[in-house]
Amino acid sequence: RDNYAAYAHSPQRESLRKRTVAIGDQIVTALAENRVVLAYQPIVDAKSGHAVAHECLVRISRPEGQVIAASDFVPVAEQLGLVRQLDRRVLELTVEALSKHRARACR
């Protein structure tokens, strides 16, 4: 109480705030429009040169076709409290992908 803080305009701070808001909007829109996607990257055995597994990476696909890497939006999702919705969507996509994979393997 009786605490005061001086505000000093900072172009850098304003730029960061605008970027955070823009990325937050992109996350919300991507979730609503089902543009959160999974990308699979092979993990290759160094000796054999064969893929032994795949790493699953989350991305946001923009309407123009560009892809946003997780490192560009996950910190913002955490900061804005959107990470639970993002996690839920990733889990849904993972279960869906595993179901399709299992169905193909059973043929």
Task: Check residue 7 and give its pLDDT.
Answer: 74
* pTM recorded for the entire structure: 0.79
Sheet containing strand 67-69, edge to edge, reads 36-44, 51-61, 67-69
Q: Is the pLDDT of residue 80 over 90?
A: yes
**pLDDT (mean) for 19-43:** 96
**pLDDT (mean) for 36-45:** 95
CA dist list (Å): 98 to 56, 65, 81, 92, 104: 12, 25, 28, 10, 10
**pLDDT (mean) for 52-77:** 95
Paired tokens of 63:
């309407």
